[in-house]
Structure 1
């Protein structure tokens, strides 16, 4: 029987598929770390109080990248190039979601609206990350090789999502409500399409590495498209709602280190 647990177990058990999985994850986390560091450096003067939290967010993402590289080193595996069709962050940028990298590479301060766009985009992508890590913790939280790393990353992603909710609610009260709702909707609809495409591409690569039979690959692809259909019809609403989180000021302190991995 196909399940998320059995599929991930297959990927983890094979060195080549595990190598690709960790390489893709490490690359995405490193990209997120760079983006947050640049945003923190360019925060407008009127929002400078947010810079430490954005910096903390980026430090967490950098840490996650180091964790995935450490998992590779434990198996004696180098990172491999990330196929472009599996590059989630690059594909989102191409769709105009989030802040353009040309803007982040410049030395001009960002606007308040830029920060609103950044947070709304992050609320959507952090929902995806938190959901994925919740699933991995449920199925692999006690795994002898991966469990500690998965639990640490999952806790961070929950913090990131809480931070986005809290900051967006604060900005909505400050008069940015309409912009927030517009950007949330645009980001969510674009994200679910990119997530579908990336998922199909990753499963295609994994299927070739693991030599999955055509019927199995077809069932997996159909499942991915069915999830996208549900999200496109109704599931995206969950990605745009805002509620005060249980974890308040989730990024208010320094980033936790990961000496056992880094």
Structure 2
């Protein structure tokens, strides 16, 4: 029987599939760290009070990248190049989600609307990240090799999502409501397409590495497409709602250090 637990167990039990998984994860987290660092450096003067939290967000993402690299080193593995079709972060940018990298590489300060776009995009992608980590924590939170890393990253993703909710609600109160709702909807609908395509590409690569039979690969692809159909019809609404989180000022403290190898 196919299940998220059995699939991930297969992936982490095989060095080559584990190597690809950790490489993809490390690359995405590191890219997210760079993006947040640049946004913090270019934040508008009138929003300077947000810079420390954006910096903390980026530092957490950098930390996650180092954690995945550390997991590879513990097995004596080197990272592999990330196939472009599996690069979630790059494909989001190509589809116009978030702030363009050309803008982040420049030295011109961002506008208030840019920050609203950044936070709205982050609210959508952090919902995806938090949900994925909840699933992994449920099945592998006590795993001797990856459990500690999963628990730490999951806690951070919950903090990031809480931060996005709180800041967007504040900006909504300050008059940015229409922009927030527009960008949330556009981002959510575009993100589910990117996530479907990336999921299909990752499963295709994993299937080749693990030599899955055609029937198994076809069943997984059908499941991914079925989930996309549900999200396209109704599921995307979950990524656009805003509610005051239980965790307040979630990014107001210091970054938790990377755990030492066991």
TM bin, normalised by shorter chain, reads over 0.9
State the partner residue of 1:75.
75
3-state SS in 1 of match to 2:18: helix
SS of alignment partner, residue 250 of structure 1: coil
Instruction: Please name the residue that 2:255 is paired with.
Output: 255
Note if contact 1:92-1:191 (Cα within 8 Å) is conserved in structure 2: yes
Task: Assess if the C-alpha contact under 8 Å between 1:66 and 1:261 holds in 2.
Answer: no
Q: Does 1:135 align with 2:100?
A: no
| Alignment correspondent of 1:246 | 246
CA distance in 2, matches of 1:166, 1:156: 15
Provide the TM-score with structure 2 as the length reference: 0.99
What is the CA RMSD across the aligned residues, in angstroms? 0.8
Deviation for aligned residue 1:259: 4.1
Distance 1:260 1:227 in 2: 37
1:13 maps to 13
Deviations 1:151-181 (A, max 9, x none): 0000000000000000000000000000000
Find out whether 1:181 has 2:185 as its counterpart: no
Q: State the Cα deviation string for residues 123-152 of structure 1 (Å, max 9, x = none).
A: 000000000000000000000000000000
Residues 184-225 of structure 1, C-alpha deviations (whole Å, 9 max, x = no match): 000000000000000000000000000000000000000000
Cα distance in 2 for residues equivalent to 1:201 and 1:95: 17
- Give unmatched runs, 5+ long, in structure 2: none
Determine the C-alpha separation between the residues in 1 that align with 2:126 and 2:153: 12
Equivalence for 1:44: 44
Asked if the contact 2:47/2:112 (under 8 Å) is kept, the reply is yes
Q: How many Å separate the matches in 1 of 2:199 and 2:128?
A: 12
The question of whether the paired residues in 2 share the 8 Å contact of 1:67 and 1:261 is answered with no
| Conserved 8 A contact 2:91-2:194 | yes
Instruction: Spell out structure 1 runs of 4+ moving beyond 3 A.
Output: none
Separation (CA, whole Å) in 2 of partners of 1:261 and 1:152: 14
Q: Does 1:55 align with 2:58?
A: no
2:113 counterpart of 1:125: no
Alignment-derived partner of residue 218 in structure 1: 218
**For the Cα contact (< 8 Å) 1:134–1:154, is it kept in 2?**
yes
